[in-house]
């Protein structure tokens, strides 16, 4: 590998690490009352359709408001998440035409997310606007 390619790879990994760190700080500031309210600006909700672990990342195909998107994050953030779960995430940075060497695949669009968690009230369709029905 050339010095230029190693340098670019090093810069990309460090940039992603910084973005993940900053967003982690912001995400950890949510109070319990904020979690129970409608989604806070910046926090997105989606349903996990598919998950793949490869290399240093977990790739998630999610459905949000009827649209599919690919997310990537580090394995430590998704220990309790499985296909079918409704998740909340933030701190996303889009990479277009991102090639994953580990998957030997190029994503048209891949969103690197810094924080991701299973939504506590676990709605079924990934819609941020859906409100669960009240019990009669």
pLDDT tens-digit series, residues 68-120: 999 999 998 888 999 999 999 988 899 999 999 999 999 999 999 989 999 98
CATH of the domain at 93: 2.40.50.140
Pairing of the two strands 67-73 and 105-112: parallel
Tally the domains of the chain: 1
Q: Residues 32, 112: contact at Cβ < 8 Å?
A: no
Q: Quick one: CA torsion of 26, 52, 75, 9, rounded to 10 degrees?
A: -80
**Residues in the chain, how many?**
136
Total-model pTM? 0.60
Lowest mean pLDDT among 48-52, 61-65, 69-73, 87-91: 87-91
Identify whether the C-beta of residue 107 lies closer than 8 Å to the C-beta of residue 70: yes
- Domain membership flag for residue 124: no
Q: SS3 of 66, please?
A: coil
Most distant CA atoms of the chain, gap in Å:
66
User: Is 92 a domain residue?
Assistant: yes
Structural domain of 95: 3-118
Q: Residue 53: its pLDDT value, please?
A: 93
């Amino acid at each position: 590998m050339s010095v230029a390619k190693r340098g670019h790879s090093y810069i990309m990994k460090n940039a992603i690490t910084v973005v993940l760190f900053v967003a982690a700080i912001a995400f950890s500031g949510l109070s319990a009352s904020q979690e129970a309210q409608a989604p806070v600006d910046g926090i997105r909700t989606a349903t996990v359709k598919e998950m793949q672990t490869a290399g240093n990342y977990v790739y998630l195909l999610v459905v949000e408001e009827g649209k599919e998107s690919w997310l990537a994050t580090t394995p430590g953030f998704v220990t309790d998440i499985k296909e079918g779960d409704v998740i909340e995430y933030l701190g996303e940075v889009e990479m277009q035409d991102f090639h994953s060497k580990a998957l030997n695949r190029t994503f048209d669009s891949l969103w690197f997310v810094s924080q991701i968690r299973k939504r506590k009230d676990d709605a079924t369709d990934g819609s941020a606007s859906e409100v669960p029905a009240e019990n009669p």
